[in-house]
Amino acid sequence: SRQLLLKERPNGLPDEQTFEIREEEVKSPEKGEVLLKTLYVSVDPYMRGRMSDQKSYVEPFQVGEPLEGGIVAQVIKSNADYPQKGDIVRGNLPFQEYNTAKADSVSKVNTHELNPSAALSVLGMPGLTAYFGMMHIGEPKEGETVVVSAAAGAVGQIAGQLAKQAGARVVGIVGSEEKAIYITERLGFDATVEYKKENLKVQLQDACPDGIDVYYENVGGEIGDAIWPLLNTFSRVPVCGAISSYNLKKGEADIGPRVQQFLIKSRVKMQGFLVGDFAKHYKEAYKVLAEGVSEGNLVYEETVHKGFDAIPKAFNGLFTGDNIGKQLVKVAAP
């Protein structure tokens, strides 16, 4: 079975030196364990933080050890009552083609009629993140203007649609025309801003003539800076991510206009959050997301790369914006 190791900690965007694929023997499952065949691997922006040696809310990956993250797998052999051979499960597992894992470290996937990859996208961590950031912190109201950055991505595509369902006018910030078309025509966003084109500030002003009531922050940097002056009185800013800063090189700093004056003037509530903070409410979110999808009110896209070798490329693609919707790697068929 192949595994993907962290060979060297990256300085900036990961490159050929960062990862290595190695063959590894898989041990057969003991009592209480299962043998799993990886079907889908999720690549997520937060993994970049774990490639550095700085302590954060998750432990750094170790050099010479496999990366790990969200995986959907099939049980090949079970030495436990649950799950059983043939079941499709989800877990946070080492990036390997096969894993031997504790049976209680994975859970059976229930994606209804959807492809099981949905357990890593709309019905998984990104869907939950969008739900809690938007509905519990952003709290969009009828008629308000909501702006979402990285709007065509895994989290952004869901966050924007939830705001739309709450009756808001929704503006998405994206990196390409193809993404602008996706979020307006497929997802029903009201307007778009293409930040790689000229005049981000003017584009934003034009797209938000009544100012901004909720800014769902995924990106940070210059995009955030263009938002602060447009925030309305008592607006809310759920801070979900700051992807523009994840690949800063040693010595580079993430500096920009200071935000306090804008927050005071407009009495803005700005709150960072982690999806895990809301673990008590996951059931509520799954219900809304699953119903939304099955009733056709929640649309989602996945960009699926093929083959275990494709994981590094798929991961880097998150930072160059090659994905529409959730970025995934399909490793094997069930």
The residue ranges of DSSP E strands in the chain, in sequence order, are 2-6, 19-23, 33-42, 68-78, 88-94, 98-102, 106-108, 145-149, 169-174, 191-194, 212-216, 231-239, 269-272, 302-306, 326-330
Does residue number 155 form part of the binding site for ligand NDP (CB under 6 A)? yes
Collapsing DSSP states into helix, strand and coil, what is residue 133? helix
Does residue number 172 form part of the binding site for ligand NDP (CB under 6 A)? no
In angstroms, what is the C-alpha Rg of the chain? 20
Paired tokens of 125:
């961590």
Please choose, out of 2-10, 43-51, 95-103, 286-294, the segment that lies near ligand NDP by the rule CB under 6 A: 43-51
Question: In this structure, how many other beta carbons lie within 10 angstroms of the beta carbon of residue 322?
Answer: 15
- Please identify which residue in 13, 87, 319, 332 interacts with ligand NDP, judged by CB under 6 A: 319
Does residue number 218 form part of the binding site for ligand NDP (CB under 6 A)? yes
**Contact assessment for residue 246 and residue 213, using Cβ atoms and an 8 Å cutoff:** no
Instruction: In angstroms, give the least distance from the CB of 8 to ligand NDP.
Output: 22
DSSP state of 153: B
270 has which bridge partners?
237
Give the residue from 86, 85, 90, 96 showing the smallest Cα distance to 116. Answer: 90
One symbol per residue from 75 to 114: x for binding ligand NDP (CB under 6 A), - otherwise; what is it? ----------------------------------------
Question: Roughly how many angstroms between the first and final C-alpha of the chain, as a whole number?
Answer: 16
DSSP state of 31: T
Collapsing DSSP states into helix, strand and coil, what is residue 97? coil
Paired tokens of 333:
């068929």
Does residue number 153 form part of the binding site for ligand NDP (CB under 6 A)? yes
Number of amino acids touching ligand NDP (CB under 6 A): 31
Instruction: In angstroms, give the least distance from the CB of 37 to ligand NDP.
Output: 24
One symbol per residue from 299 to 318: x for binding ligand NDP (CB under 6 A), - otherwise; what is it? -------------------x
Does residue number 224 form part of the binding site for ligand NDP (CB under 6 A)? no
- Please identify which residue in 10, 70, 126, 312 interacts with ligand NDP, judged by CB under 6 A: 126
Q: Which is nearer to ligand NDP, 13 or 259 (CB)?
A: 13
Span 273-302, contacts to ligand NDP by CB under 6 A? 273-275
Binding site for ligand NDP (CB under 6 A): 44-46, 125-126, 129, 150, 152-156, 174-176, 179, 218-219, 223, 240-241, 243-244, 273-275, 318-319, 321, 323, 327
